[in-house]
């Protein structure tokens, strides 16, 4: 398991330092601010829908490596998915972090976001890892109405 954890750490470092998802979208349908006062993390998520599909997503903001990487990896994971699929993935990610699920088949849906699995053992970092996911949850629930 040691090697696998190294791969995950590298992935998180890569996304936190220089994310290609950190930019502005033209014609975003949704723009939502997420804030984690415990750590000072702040992100702005922008989402562009094409019918029911998440066509594009991007973010801006600042904060710790975990919050920034979690946002960027979430964008990679959810882009191209339908709103319903995205909701399911977001729910699974939150359950993984809260240690409410360890179902391997469910966790596979998370793709690279599974890299944050061990965050569930670091209570101080949980809110950092969840920030973007709670923010997109707010957008996706709004969309339904
Ligand atoms: Zn943080």
- Share in percent of the chain as helix, strand, coil (round to 5): 55, 20, 25
Tell me, in angstroms, the distance from the centre of ligand 1 to residue 8's CA.
Answer: 18
| pLDDT single digits (tens) 62-93 | 999 999 999 999 999 999 999 999 999 999 99
How many A from CA of 126 to the centre of ligand 1? 8
pLDDT given at position 93: 97
Distance 50 CA to ligand 1 centre (A): 31
CA of 120 to the centre of ligand 1 (A): 14
Cα(40) to ligand 1 centroid in Å equals: 6
Q: Running DSSP on this structure, what letter comes out for residue 117?
A: G
Give the Å distance between the CA of 61 and the centre of ligand 1. 12
The CATH topology of domain 2-143 is Sufe protein. Chain: A (3.90.1010)
93 Rama class: left (phi>0) / alpha (psi -120 to 50) / beta: alpha
- At 6, the pLDDT band (50, 70, 90 cuts) reads confident
pLDDT at 111 over 90: yes
User: Is 80 exceeded by the pLDDT of residue 114?
Assistant: yes
């Amino acid at each position: 398991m040691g090697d696998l954890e190294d791969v995950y750490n590298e992935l998180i470092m890569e996304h936190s330092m220089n994310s290609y998802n950190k930019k502005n979208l033209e014609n975003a349908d949704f723009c939502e601010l997420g804030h984690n006062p415990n750590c000072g993390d702040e992100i702005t998520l922008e989402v562009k829908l094409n019918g029911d599909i998440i066509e594009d997503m991007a973010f801006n903001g600042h904060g710790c490596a975990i919050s920034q990487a979690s946002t960027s990896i979430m964008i990679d994971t959810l882009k191209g998915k339908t709103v319903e699929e995205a909701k399911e993935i977001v729910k699974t990610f939150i359950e993984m972090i809260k240690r409410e699920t360890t179902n391997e088949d469910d966790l596979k849906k998370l793709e690279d976001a599974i890299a944050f699995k061990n965050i569930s053992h670091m209570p101080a970092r949980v809110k950092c890892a969840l920030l973007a996911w709670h923010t997109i949850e707010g957008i996706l629930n709004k969309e339904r109405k």
